[in-house]
């Protein structure tokens, strides 16, 4: 996955299910850490993987 295709998006997973895909803004890998995201407010936010999340630079436990 390239960073250019890392934009969060909804995808159809059958006739009645929808999934939300979110990838790291930096490297394009799976983004487990979302910032400023609120699906209830229709805000996809910005997503990062563990290595690139802003808090990771501070060290410390997860």
Burial of 23 (0-12, 13-18, 19+ CB in 10 A): buried
Residue 1 has pLDDT above 80, yes or no: no
Q: What is the pLDDT of residues 9-52, one digit of tens each?
A: 777 787 878 788 889 999 999 999 999 988 789 888 999 999 99
- For the chain, the 3-state helix, strand and coil shares in percent, each to the nearest 5, are 20, 30, 55
- Classify residue 19 by its DSSP letter: E
The whole-angstrom separation of Cα 62 and Cα 1 is: 25
Where are the domains positioned within the chain? Answer: 3-58
What is the torsional sign of CA 50, 47, 7, 9?
Answer: positive
The confidence score (pLDDT) of residue 52 equals 93
The model's pTM:
0.68
- Locus of tokens 């501070």: 58
């Amino acid at each position: 996955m390239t960073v250019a295709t890392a934009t969060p998006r909804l995808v159809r997973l059958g006739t009645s299910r929808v999934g939300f895909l979110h990838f790291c803004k930096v490297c394009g890998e799976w983004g487990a850490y979302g910032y400023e995201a609120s699906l209830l407010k229709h805000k996809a936010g910005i997503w990062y993987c563990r290595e690139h999340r802003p808090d990771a630079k501070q060290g410390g436990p997860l």
